[in-house]
Amino acid sequence: MRERPAVAVRSDVLVVGAGPAGSVVACLLAKKHDVVIAEEHPVPGEPLQCAGLVTARGVPASARKSVIGEVRGVRIHSPLGFVLDLEAKSSRAFVLDRPMFDKLLFQEAVDAGAVPMLSSPVRHIRTVDGAISSEIIRADRTEVFTSEIVVGADGYKSVCRKAAGLRGPKHVLRGIQADLKGVDSDRDFVEVFLGRDVAPGFFAWAVPAGELTRVGLCTWDVQHAPAQYLKRLLSRAEYARAERVSTASGMIPIGPGKTAVSGRVLLVGDAACHAKPLSGGGVYTGVKGAELCAQAISEFLGGGGENALRAYDSLWNEAFGKELTRAFRIRKVFVNLNDKKIDSALKLFAEPDVRRLLESQGDIDYPASLASSVLKLAPRLAKFSPEIIESFL
Ligand SMILES: Cc1cc2nc3c(=O)[nH]c(=O)nc-3n(C[C@H](O)[C@H](O)[C@H](O)COP(=O)(O)OP(=O)(O)OC[C@H]3O[C@@H](n4cnc5c(N)ncnc54)[C@H](O)[C@@H]3O)c2cc1C
């Protein structure tokens, strides 16, 4: 079918993508400015690509209704059979109904005044006379959309990032997960499984989610499909008899570039590669980055000049960028460990002082910030990478 002629539309800000990062930016800016939020899928939050484990600081009050559980501990299985339990006294993370979470945040943005465009993929973003021109496909026609600012909240494959010439991720993880019914497990604990045959370059998990258990993994193995590893994981005795309700998969981009700003295009969340290198979690950094991005854009639209936009880089770097850099360094050590070394390292974490520290101060949003204290208590960890001791002590 031939496309009908283009239609021109204008706004202050075009937000591309209605994941949590996009909806939070749109909501904060729509209170004062003309904002359009374009999402390629018909319904925000679907298809699901998440285990839903997020700390309280990553869940805005308006989306608390999507919390379906809380966990306060982790049971880590080494590849050689050693098991380490770390148990905090109180809740450490929420388990979310992630599609509901995304829908609540999107609705809040619309209620704040953002104009929603669903089933509307954005493409061909370019700067024309100082403003940005984007093409949005709506039904059978292309709308040419002009805005002062574009926020790329369009996830790991971000067209905004490519159009702005910004750097892609250092590593891309491939994830897959199955929701199982009928797993008998401790509902206060997340399970983590390590090992090259389990999830090379990352880990596998089991997250209690209401009456279901989300069993999944990410790998950094490009030769074998993640589904092969999932099949092996699901053959474990505790999952073998459970009923598989659904399966989801997705990619996680980690290792951001130095900047998430190029001219009038700003990136947030996975588009900016802001997911955490050690856990793959990207909801907290997406939501926090979105708040900081909205702050920078507000300054700019209030007359703050281009420097106001560039300030976004310092803001996210200060809030979580330094943590992402340190965590990425630790990840580089981790991916080079064989199963025997992973097992030995885990046993060092089980030493009473280290374990106490992890149980009392462990924070899944800022794990690397504890690295120097852990190394002081367990200096033998340095044998896994002498360089790491120099950078953390
Ligand atoms: C298997 C798996 C498990 C995970 N588990 C967790 C977890 O437990 N905790 C956690 O914190 N994180 C987890 N993550 C990561 C988390 O899902 C992401 O980091 C998070 O969704 C990033 O939010 P975002 O808003 O940046 O991007 P997204 O949620 O990816 O949203 C981007 C949106 O942009 C839309 N879009 C893309 N391109 C276009 C376009 N051209 N035009 C219009 N719209 C477009 C997409 O349809 C999508 O809705 C997991 C990821 C995977 C793959």
Q: How far apart are CA 223 and CA 148, in angstroms?
A: 43
Could you say which of 223, 253, 283 is where a domain stops? Answer: 253
Q: Are residues 36 and 176 in the same domain?
A: no
Q: How far apart are CA 297 and CA 310, in angstroms?
A: 10
Which residue type sits at 49? Q
Q: Are residues 33 and 133 in the same domain?
A: yes
The pLDDT, as a whole number, for residue 9 is 63
Q: Are residues 115 and 156 in the same domain?
A: yes
- CA 366–ligand 1 middle distance (angstroms): 20
Peptide bond into 379 cis (omega under 30): no
Token pair of 380, please? 């033998």
Task: Count how many residues are written for the chain.
Answer: 393
Domains contained in the chain, number: 3
**In which domain, by residue range, is 383 found?**
335-392
Q: Are residues 206 and 264 in the same domain?
A: no
Token pair of 288, please? 């926090």
In a domain, 40, yes or no: yes
In a domain, 138, yes or no: yes
Segment holding 14, helix H or strand E: strand 4-16
In a domain, 199, yes or no: yes
User: Which ligand 1 atom sits nearest the alpha carbon of residue 58?
Assistant: 11
The pLDDT, as a whole number, for residue 21 is 98
In a domain, 293, yes or no: yes
Token pair of 164, please? 């702005």
Q: Coil, helix or strand for 133?
A: strand
Could you say which of 222, 253, 284 is where a domain stops? Answer: 253
The neighbouring-strand residues paired with 212 are 181, 209
Q: Are residues 142 and 71 in the same domain?
A: no
Q: Are residues 318 and 179 in the same domain?
A: no
Residues 6 or more apart whose Cβ sits within 8 Å of residue 125: 16, 132, 133, 134, 135, 150, 159, 160, 163, 164, 265
Q: Are residues 354 and 310 in the same domain?
A: no
Going by CA atoms, what residue is nearest to atom 3 of ligand 1? 50
Q: How far apart are CA 87 and CA 309, in angstroms?
A: 42
Q: Are residues 149 and 213 in the same domain?
A: no
Q: Coil, helix or strand for 256?
A: coil
In a domain, 54, yes or no: no
- CA 284–ligand 1 middle distance (angstroms): 12
Q: Which of 332, 16, 333, 316 is nearest to 149 (CA)?
A: 16
DSSP, residue by residue, 148-171: EEEEE---TT-HHHHHTT----SE
Q: Are residues 313 and 358 in the same domain?
A: no
The pLDDT, as a whole number, for residue 7 is 54
Per-residue pLDDT of the chain (393 residues; tens, 9 = 90+): 444 445 566 889 999 999 999 999 999 999 999 999 999 999 999 998 899 999 999 999 999 999 999 999 999 999 999 999 999 999 999 999 999 999 999 999 999 999 999 999 999 999 888 889 999 999 889 999 999 999 999 999 999 999 999 999 999 999 999 999 999 989 999 999 999 999 999 999 999 999 999 999 999 988 899 999 999 999 999 999 999 999 999 999 999 999 999 999 999 999 999 999 999 999 999 999 999 999 999 999 999 999 999 999 999 999 999 999 999 999 998 998 999 999 999 999 999 999 999 999 999 999 998 888 988 888 888 787 766 655 665
Which of 283, 316, 324, 364 has the most ligand 1 atoms within 8 A of CB, as the residue to mutate?
Answer: 283
Q: Are residues 157 and 300 in the same domain?
A: yes
